[in-house]
Amino acid sequence: MNPYNIKIQTALVSPGGLSLYHALIKNKEKKEFDVEIFERDSAPEDRWQGYHITLNARGIVSLLNCVPSSIALNLPKAILNPIPDVESHRIMVSDDTGSALLQPPNNQHRLREILLEGVPVRWDKKCIGYEETKEGVWVKFENGSRELCDILVGADGINSSVRNQKLPELKPLNYGVTQVNANVSVPKHLMDRLIKVHGNSLVQETLGLNGDWTFLLFRLIPIEQESDDKKKNDSDEIHYRLTLAYSYPKKLDESDDIKVDDNDPASVIERVKELTRKLRPANEMTDVLLGLWELAPKTSPTDSEKENCPFKTYNPIQRRELRDIDPLSITTWTSNRITLLGDAAHAMNPVLGLGTNNAFQDADILSQALLNGSSEDLIPCIQKYENEMRKRSSADKEGSSKKSSQVARSSTTTGRSSTNKCR
């Protein structure tokens, strides 16, 4: 039997594309697939790829269904900065007897490295479209080359070129909310001030007066205590890790007077501070937030400097717009040899942390449909997958949108008293 030639246009962090690859290859005794992965980047380290991720039960089960045991055994390596004997940064999943099943990964950067093991990615292949013919699907690349396949899976993220051609009417919806994220190393005196005003919850939201809100996530284990990080900060003062996110209505940046360069972290940080001063009352909470933004790196670190970043990776400090895609927002969706997976089909904002979880479920369900379906007719297999994927991910997208809107609404309606309510 000739193997199916499936082209997956995807890559790197793309958890969906890589897990689909593993799921199809690991079951080759059942059915043989010739899976190729194309990535627009020229190498794995081209771009920063790692946010913290939370995997839920559905995502974990699908991930384990997809990957071979050699990769499953490596998954605990994608847990950020374990501190042996002090505190575990992991979630333990056990069976009903309490026996450990898995410690799910929580670092997307390291998870990508693990999922890439043994995958022959074809780098520097930016897909610009495709052509469906009687022979199959010709995938077209920016460098002028093209490749023939039986099935094309577009796992190429929120700006998917495959989606743009297959379903041009399925567009990302802009929330009108801009978000800036930064990881910082916070000295104890500033952390003490934050805790005094806002309590010691490790996850904190503060709602502003005019549709802006902040999200803080921190650790109270000093950076110096970690066994794999003995580097001292400039002073002897203890430092802690903290992730900052600031969200605000996009329309505030629409005036011509606003000059922010997203390639210049200093100008983005300055804009966040300016908005914080303008939109929030002068008080201790505002002062602490300004102090935290002051700690954000004003220039992008070099590769060697990244090692000293609080989370050992650098998340470029730039403005990002919250957007999502609802795959049920269009009535006509024709199933054919070209399909979509992950954010390409159903991007959702990160507020509930469901994007990667859905990408793993897509890979699991699509691979099962292809492995168990009729060898003669692959389209019904793809249709089965697409029907399930659209319903499931649309519901999760809806939940994420609602949560985001609630935060924005409470931010504009609770007003000045909101920071107190958070305690």
Ligand X SMILES: Cc1cc2nc3c(=O)[nH]c(=O)nc-3n(C[C@H](O)[C@H](O)[C@H](O)COP(=O)(O)OP(=O)(O)OC[C@H]3O[C@@H](n4cnc5c(N)ncnc54)[C@H](O)[C@@H]3O)c2cc1C
Of 15 and 297, CB closest to ligand X: 15
For 36, residues 6+ apart whose C-beta sits below 8 A from its C-beta are 5, 6, 7, 8, 120, 122, 147, 149
Instruction: Report the interhelical angle of 379-413 vs 355-372 (nearest 10°).
Output: 170
Q: Dihedral sign, CA of 334, 339, 340, 341? A: positive
In the bound complex, what is the minimum distance in angstroms from residue 270's beta carbon to ligand X? 22
Instruction: Confirm or reject binding of residue 126 to ligand X (CB under 6 A).
Output: yes
Which of the ranges 129-137, 187-195, 336-344, 388-396 carries the binding residues for ligand X, by CB under 6 A? 336-344
Nearer to ligand X, 344 or 369 (CB): 344
Q: Is 104 in the site for ligand X (CB under 6 A)?
A: no
Interface positions, 127-156, toward ligand X (CB under 6 A): 127, 155-156
* Binding flag, residue 10, ligand X (CB under 6 A): yes
The stretch near ligand X (CB under 6 A) out of 169-177, 185-193, 212-220, 356-364 is: 356-364
Least distance CB 356 / ligand X (angstroms): 3
In the complex with ligand X, the residue whose CB is nearer, 117 or 237, is 117
One symbol per residue from 41 to 80: x for binding ligand X (CB under 6 A), - otherwise; what is it? x---------x-xx--------------------------
Q: Which C-beta is closer to ligand X: that of 306 or that of 320?
A: 320
Q: Is 261 exposed, middle or buried (0-12, 13-18, 19+ CB in 10 A)?
A: exposed
Among 7, 16, 215, 219, binds ligand X (CB under 6 A): 16
- Output the CA angle 340-345-347, nearest 5 degrees: 145
Q: Residue 66 and residue 360: Cα distance in Å, rounded?
A: 8
**Helical packing angle, 355-372 and 15-26, nearest 10°:** 30
Taking the least distance from each CB to ligand X, the nearer of 15 and 211 is: 15
> Which residues face 35 on adjacent strands?
6
Cα dihedral 276/277/279/281 (nearest 10): 110
Report the residue number, 161 or 419, with the smaller CB distance to ligand X.
Answer: 161
Q: Are strands 100-102 and 93-94 parallel, antiparallel or unpaired?
A: antiparallel
Contacts with ligand X by CB under 6 A lie at 9-17, 38-41, 51, 53-54, 126-127, 155-157, 161, 342-344, 350, 353-357, 359
